[in-house]
């Protein structure tokens, strides 16, 4: 069940890579095969204690297996173990990183003269974006929807930035009237727009936020850590597509290749529309940046040591699956979206469940019918447990009742929050598996 062909590819590629070092004196590393094998077998046994994240029966959290080419390229790079900080620590991998970041910038944000780099993940990428926001708007507020990722509030606390939540509406996105009331006060430096909330997949109304930007003057940071690659697909709702099309008018964007970009953890990416954002990174390191007059990635990054293997894996993946509209990569992502649409239609037609929100990307949120909020929450937990016993893995989420567009006339509201179910259909194979998931779901309640 676990893919192994990439190991054969890796062995051939290792021999090829070794040819590049034949001009240096040979030395033989001590073989520890007999000592390593039993320990690695223990590791293999311990790793059995995991959910099958790679399987389409797992439709719980945002866990997508890296593509075999990404695994092979990452492992190949680990024999060199490059560090994409200074160029002498990662000559080839730094060039690969610059190339893939340019491709993401041009194809997702439509920016050609931007500045960006890979990070260890979305949290660090968002931290760098909000740090620049703090530097460009000293003392001004950072605003994000209450349904945005919690990391924005935590990052703002770490950076001592003035953060405030914007209330959401029943679409699960930022309430624009509330936002404008805050903007009229004249102390907003940055608005964080989420394209693909990690809970529901909902996309903030970026088009309208950009219009407000032109009127009131503030930075817009787009957190597309989860949803960014959906800019490339052709089967979004028209309003969602329009919001994605407005990314180019923002000031910075975060996207996580380790989510929908088929990469191993951790691989995030932050990009600034204006290359002059680099001036805020300027620092001295007299023993680091002396090998080349070309840009060292450490000169435009808050992180110092970073895995060059992440850039190598992403570069290889882009060669096989270019991140372009109409390409193989986009078509595979469209399958995820179609799986979510099909599953949500089954939910609506069931008579047993209600959708929380119409899916905008590939995340479906729903809840069972019940006589009270607490009963619905209890049923959700029962379904979650019962499905796991059948090797189908869902997720749960606590959601504010006041944000749910549902007629509660015959449902007692005896709790402020309701536990709902959530499926992340982020594997292309879900298009052939979602019916099985639904049939089992429908049979247990």
Q: In 29-43, which positions are buried (b, 16+ CB within 10 angstroms) versus exposed (e)?
A: eeeeeeeeeeeeeee
Residue 282 has pLDDT above 90, yes or no: no
User: Is 432 inside a domain boundary?
Assistant: yes
Give the mean pLDDT of 389-401. Answer: 98
Residue 52, domain member (yes or no): no
Domain end among 320, 345, 373? 320
Cα–Cα nearest to 364, from 442, 434, 444: 434
Residues 245 and 336 in one domain: no
Number of structural domains (the chain) is 2
Which residues form the domain of 108?
A: 87-320
The C-alpha angle 330, 362, 316, rounded to 5 degrees, equals 35
Helix (H) or strand (E) holding 336: helix 328-349
State the Cα angle at 221 between 178 and 262, rounded to 5°: 125
**Widest Cα–Cα separation across the chain:** 80
Averaged pLDDT for residues 391-410 = 97
Q: What is the CA radius of gyration of the chain?
A: 23
- pLDDT tens digits, residue range 40-79? 999 999 999 999 999 999 999 999 999 999 999 999 999 9
- The distance from CA 300 to its chain's CA centroid, rounded to whole angstroms, is 22
Q: Is the pLDDT of residue 150 over 80?
A: yes
pLDDT, mean over the chain: 95
Same domain, 161 and 282: yes
* Backbone CA torsion sign across 143, 109, 263, 297: negative
Distance CA 384, CA 181 (A): 40
Query: Does the pLDDT at position 419 exceed 60?
Result: yes
Residue 26 has pLDDT above 90, yes or no: no
Q: Both 311 and 378 in a single domain?
A: no
Give the separation between CA 261 and CA 241, rounded to whole angstroms: 19
Residues 303 and 335 placed together within one structural domain of the fold = no
My answer on whether 312 and 251 are in the same domain is yes
Residue by residue, what is the 3-state secondary structure of 341-366?
Answer: HHHHHHHHHCCCEEEEECCCCCEEEE
The CA distance from 29 to 46, in Å, is 28
Instruction: Give the closest residue to 332 by CA, choosing from 256, 413, 430.
Output: 430
Give me the pLDDT at residue 112, please.
94
Strand partners, 191: 143, 220
Contact 243, 205 (CB under 8 A): yes
Q: What pLDDT band is residue 213 in, cutting at 50, 70 and 90?
A: very high
Indicate whether 351 and 207 sit together in one domain. no
Beta-bridged to residue 363, according to DSSP, are 424
Domain CATH code at residue 177? 3.40.640.10
227 burial type by CB count under 10 A (0-12 exposed, 13-18 middle, 19+ buried): buried
Strands (E) in 179-263, as ranges, are 188-194, 219-223, 252-255
Higher-scoring residue by pLDDT: 296, 372: 372
Residues of the chain with pLDDT > 90, as a percent, come to: 91
pLDDT > 70? residue 288? no
H or E element that contains 423: strand 417-424
pLDDT above 70 covers what percent of the chain? 98
This prediction has a pTM of 0.95
Give the torsion sign (CA, 149, 154, 156, 159).
Answer: negative
Confidence band (pLDDT; 50, 70, 90) for 105? very high
> Which stretches does DSSP call E strand in 46-187?
115-119, 141-145, 162-166
Same structural domain for residues 306 and 337?
Answer: no
- Phi then psi for residue 89, to 5 deg, are -95, -15
Whether residues 394 and 301 fall in one domain: no
Asked which of 320, 352, 381 is the last residue of a domain, the reply is 320
Does any domain span residue 2?
Answer: no
**Same domain, residue pair 166 and 205:** yes
Report whether pLDDT(286) > 70.
no
In a domain, 55, yes or no: no
| 342 and 316 in a common domain | no
> 208 with 176, same domain?
yes
Residue 292 in this model has a pLDDT that exceeds 70? no
Answer whether residue 54 is part of any domain: no
Instruction: Measure the CA–CA gap between 39 and 298, rounded to whole angstroms.
Output: 36
Pure H helices in 112-247:
122-136, 151-158, 176-183, 206-216, 238-245
Picking from 289, 320, 351, the residue at the C-terminal end of a domain is 320
Distance CA 89, CA 189 (A): 37
Of the listed ranges 92-96, 292-296, 436-440, the least confidently predicted one is 292-296
Evaluate whether residue 160 is within a structural domain: yes
Distance CA 242, CA 319 (A): 28
Residue 1: per-residue pLDDT: 80
> Is there a domain that residue 162 lies in?
yes
Q: What is the CATH number of the domain that holds 369?
A: 3.90.1150.10
- 8 A C-beta contact, residue 263 and residue 317: yes
Higher pLDDT, 31 or 92: 92
How sure is the predictor about 31, in pLDDT bands with cuts at 50, 70 and 90?
confident
Query: Please, what is the angle between helix 68-78 and helix 5-18, to 10°?
Result: 40
Q: Is residue 285 scored above 80 in pLDDT?
A: no
Q: What pLDDT is stored for residue 30 in this prediction?
A: 84
DSSP state of 243: H
Residue 192 lies in a domain: yes
Same domain, 357 and 284: no
Averaged pLDDT for residues 237-245 = 98
Q: In the predicted model, what is the mean pLDDT of residues 69-98? A: 95
Exposure class string for 5-26: b at 16+ Cβ within 10 A, else e: ebeebbeebeeeeeeeeeeeee
Question: How far apart (Å, rounded) are the C-alpha atoms in residues 428 and 393?
Answer: 16
């Amino acid at each position: 069940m676990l893919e192994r062909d990439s190991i054969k590819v890796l062995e051939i590629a290792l021999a090829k890579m070794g040819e590049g070092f034949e001009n240096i004196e040979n030395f033989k590393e001590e073989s520890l095969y007999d000592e390593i094998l039993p320990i690695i077998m223990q590791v293999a046994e311990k790793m059995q204690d995991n959910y099958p994240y790679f399987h389409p029966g797992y439709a719980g959290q945002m866990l997508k297996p890296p593509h075999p080419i990404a695994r092979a390229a990452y492992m190949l790079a680990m024999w060199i173990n490059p560090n994409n900080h200074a160029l002498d620590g990662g000559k080839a991998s730094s060039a690969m990183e610059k190339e893939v970041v340019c491709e993401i910038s041009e194809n997702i944000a439509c920016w050609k003269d931007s500045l960006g780099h890979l990070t260890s993940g979305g949290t660090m990428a968002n931290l760098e974006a909000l740090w620049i926001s703090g530097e460009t708007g000293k003392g001004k507020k950072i605003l994000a929807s209450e349904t945005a990722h919690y990391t924005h509030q935590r990052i703002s606390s770490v950076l001592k930035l003035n953060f405030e939540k914007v209330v959401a509406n029943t679409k699960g996105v930022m309430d624009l009237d509330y936002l404008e009331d805050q903007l009229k006060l004249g102390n907003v430096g940055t608005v964080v727009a989420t394209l693909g909330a990690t809970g529901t997949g909902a996309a903030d109304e970026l088009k309208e936020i950009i219009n407000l930007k032109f009127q009131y003057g503030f930075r817009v940071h787009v957190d597309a850590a989860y949803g960014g690659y959906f800019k490339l697909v052709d089967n979004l709702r028209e309003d969602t597509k329009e919001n994605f099309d407005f990314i180019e008018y923002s000031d910075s964007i975060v996207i996580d290749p380790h989510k929908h970009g088929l990469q191993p953890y951790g691989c995030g990416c932050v990009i600034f529309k204006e290359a002059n954002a680099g001036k805020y990174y300027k620092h001295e390191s007299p023993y680091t940046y002396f090998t080349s007059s070309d840009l060292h990635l450490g000169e435009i990054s808050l992180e110092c040591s970073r895995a060059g293997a992440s850039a190598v894996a992403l570069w290889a993946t882009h060669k096989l699956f270019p991140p372009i509209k109409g390409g193989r990569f986009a078509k595979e992502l469209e399958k995820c979206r179609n799986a979510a649409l099909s599953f949500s239609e089954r939910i609506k037609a069931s008579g047993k469940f209600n959708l929380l929100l119409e899916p905008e990307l590939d995340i479906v949120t729903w809840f069972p019918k019940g006589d009270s909020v607490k009963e619905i929450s209890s049923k959700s937990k029962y379904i979650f447990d019962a499905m796991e016993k059948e090797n189908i893995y869902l997720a749960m989420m606590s959601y504010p009742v006041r944000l749910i567009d549902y007629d509660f006339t015959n449902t007692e509201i005896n709790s402020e929050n309701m536990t709902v179910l959530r499926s992340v259909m982020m594997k292309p194979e879900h298009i052939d598996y979602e019916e099985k998931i639904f049939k089992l779901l429908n049979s247990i309640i």
